[in-house]
A and B are shown apart, each in its own frame.
Chain A
Amino acid sequence: MIFHDFGMDTASLAGPLEAKLAAIRDAGFSQVMISAADVVAHPAGTAAGIAAVRGSGLEVTGLEALRDFEGLDGAMHAYKVDVAKSMLELCAALGGRLLLVEASASRHASVDAGALGRDLAKLATLAVPLGIRVAFKGQPWSRAARDFRAAADLAMRAESPNLGVAVDAFDVLATGVPLDDLDILDPAQTFLVQLSDYMWQDARTPEEQTAAATHFRVFPAEGAHGELLAQFIARLDSLGYCGNYSFDVYNDDYLQMPPEAVAARARRSAEWLAETVLRRALPVPNLERLRAQPQ
């Protein structure tokens, strides 16, 4: 299956969970990143949301997102641990093996690397019995981990084999991180790569970056940065990354379009990536690079 390495995100689509899942499946995708809100907001309850995902025939890329977890003290820390446990249990119930954790943007959070590493290690330990890996992702508006470089540094500090990083292509596109910096990544500890493009040529101010990140993302090659994205993926590929790619696209327009129409756009994007970018990374023109997945 040519699209197997790519998955959509339920947060990219409008409509009830079942309609989102059907649109993703019917567009030819075999995996889906689940936004926790889509499951727990199911009108018939969380159990019905879980059943919809499990019955969809789609593999769960992971569950998103635990936010503002690390760096808190006392009661705030205890509260976030409870939130984390709840998300880990939801992830396991969905059959997911990965929890996406976004670097804290809380101004109450410590920026002490030792404290942050300890909290991430605790989260990773909580995830072990459930068989879940934790993918820690930098955020442009986080004080301690603005992008994958700082995220990888903190994750390494935690020294937990089931704690790695998620790399968001948006970091590279919008914040001007040099592609060479991807070389710091350990492919074995890179658990997820999220892809998106955006329309603007550049987003220089933090305000513009935040607006682009949260409202104006489009699928790869739909925006102004197709060539850069192609280089980004080729670079990860040459590093030896062989995990999943998930389309991390939030766009106000897409949320008032039929999910089928948006999923069709995602399909075109995945086709472009598979045919153009990944084939280019291959020494011979076949699809062996797309991993055979256990069925």
Chain B
Amino acid sequence: MTDATSREAIPEPQNPLGIDGIEFVEFATSRPQALGGVLERMGFRPVARHRSREVELYRQGSLNVIVNAQPADVPRTVQPVERPVISAFALRVRDAQAAFRRALELGAWEIPVRAQAMELNIPAIHGVGESLIYFVDRYDEFSIYDIDFRAIPTVDPHPPALAGLHFFGIVQYVGPDRTADWVEFYSRLFGFRKLPEETHFGIMPKGLLLESPCRTFLLQLIEPEDTARFAPMEEHLQRIGLGAPDVPAAVAALEKRGIEFFATERVRSNERGALTKPLVGSVMFELVKSEARR
């Protein structure tokens, strides 16, 4: 090390972008009604529609989920098909443009500005597979939805969360031997930190956990195992993890609404967590015991 500053160990800022949680997760599907039905059973309510695009906003408590059925016009982004896929997540940051510029400087791929999906005019970069990562800085006094979305009349715009559900994390499937690459990607661009390998939450203990610099949510990187290592696989965002202060109570409430959970020898609901069976073909939600962090 011969850098001018190397002798002083000047620390990188702990949270260089001022990340403050996940603003929304977006699904893309050509059957938005089917996915909407599932989201409603999961406790979400449709609260707003995009002014010009086939995009809807579902909400419960602090959770925002966007359902996008608009055909993609940007290369390397999700083209909506019947099977819903997680097509984006949005990070709350202190200054979206500054965060965007810093990410590009460090080697992120930008989304062409004029084509930024949903016309939200919020900056975005390419994430894993065909997914995007947005930077949002308007989430306090007024929100991005106030501008681009029209509220659905007579609907409570802020429906309470079912059983205290809140974002806990996102599970990302990565290719064989690709965990280190993605750890580097998320830590370099956003300041995520690798948690010790023995750290696990919930009932799905595989993979490696990355903690957001704001310490309010996790990314879980999972590589294929055994023979699956040789099967063709696209890397992608696989499922959302939802925190619940009382998992059995949340499971009971959701089962009452028609959501089914895995109950096999290996995967079974307990007080630590639960996993829904695939809904509309592919959508799964994982519940993890967690108090809502503010």
A residues adjacent to B (C-beta < 8 A): 85, 113-114, 121-126, 128-129, 131, 159-162, 294-295
**Alpha-carbon distance A85/B106, docked complex (angstroms):** 13
Given contacts A114-B3, A122-B107, A131-B175, whether A160 and B184 have CB atoms under 8 Å apart is: yes
Asked whether, in the complex, the Cβ of B181 is within 8 Å of the Cβ of A162, the reply is yes
Asked if A161 contacts B235 (CB within 8 A), the reply is no
Contacts of B127 in A (CB 8 A): 129
Q: How far is the CA of A37 from the CA of B126 in the complex (A)?
A: 27
**27 sample A-B contacts, Cβ–Cβ < 8 Å, listed by A number:** A85-B109, A113-B2, A114-B3, A121-B106, A121-B107, A121-B188, A122-B105, A122-B106, A123-B107, A124-B184, A125-B106, A125-B189, A126-B108, A126-B109, A128-B181, A128-B182, A128-B184, A129-B109, A129-B128, A131-B175, A131-B178, A160-B184, A161-B181, A161-B184, A162-B180, A162-B184, A295-B230
Q: Within the complex, what minimum Cβ distance (angstroms) separates B2 from chain A?
A: 7
Q: Within the assembled complex, what's the spacing in Å between the Cα atoms of A160 and B108? A: 14
Q: Which residues of A contact B184 (CB under 8 A)?
A: 124-125, 128, 159-162
Instruction: Mark B101-117 against chain A: 1 for CB-CB distance below 8 A, else 0.
Output: 00001111100000000
Q: A126 to B175, Cβ gap below 8 A? A: no
List of B residues within 8 angstroms of A161 by Cβ: 180-181, 183-184
Once bound together, how far apart are the Cα atoms of A238 and B128, in whole Å?
36
User: Is B185 part of the contact surface with A, judged by Cβ < 8 Å?
Assistant: yes
Across the interface, B107 reaches (CB within 8 A) one of A113, A126, A294, A295, namely: A126
Q: How far is the CA of A159 from the CA of B107 in the complex (A)?
A: 14
- The listed residue (A114, A128, A294) touching B230 by CB distance below 8 A is A294
Using A122-B106, A122-B107 as known contacts, say yes or no to A129 and B185 having CB atoms under 8 A apart. Answer: yes
Once A131-B235, A162-B184 are accepted as A-B contacts, the answer to whether A124 and B107 lie under 8 Å apart by CB is yes
A82 to B230, CA, bound (A): 32
Which residue of chain A has its CB nearest to the CB of B130? A129
Chain B 162-180: CB-based contact to A (< 8 A → 1; otherwise 0): 0000000000000100101
Inside 8 A of A114's CB, which chain B residues have their CB? Answer: 3
CB of B206 closer than 8 Å to a CB of A: no
When distances are taken between beta carbons in the complex, the residues of chain B under 8 Å from A123 are 107
Q: Name 14 extra pairs, CB < 8 A, besides A129-B128, A129-B185, A131-B178.
A: A121-B106, A122-B107, A124-B184, A125-B189, A126-B107, A126-B108, A126-B109, A128-B182, A128-B185, A129-B109, A161-B180, A161-B184, A162-B180, A294-B229
Contacting residues, chain B, for A162 (C-beta < 8 A): 180-181, 184
The residues of B that contact A125 with a CB separation of less than 8 Å are 106-108, 184-185, 188-189
Chain B 232-248, CB-CB to A under 8 Å as 1, else 0, gives 00010000000000000
Distance to closest chain A CB from B178 (angstroms): 7
Query: A161 CA to B194 CA in the complex, in Å?
Result: 15
Complex: A113 Cα to B128 Cα, angstroms: 30
**Shortest CB distance B227–A (Å):** 9
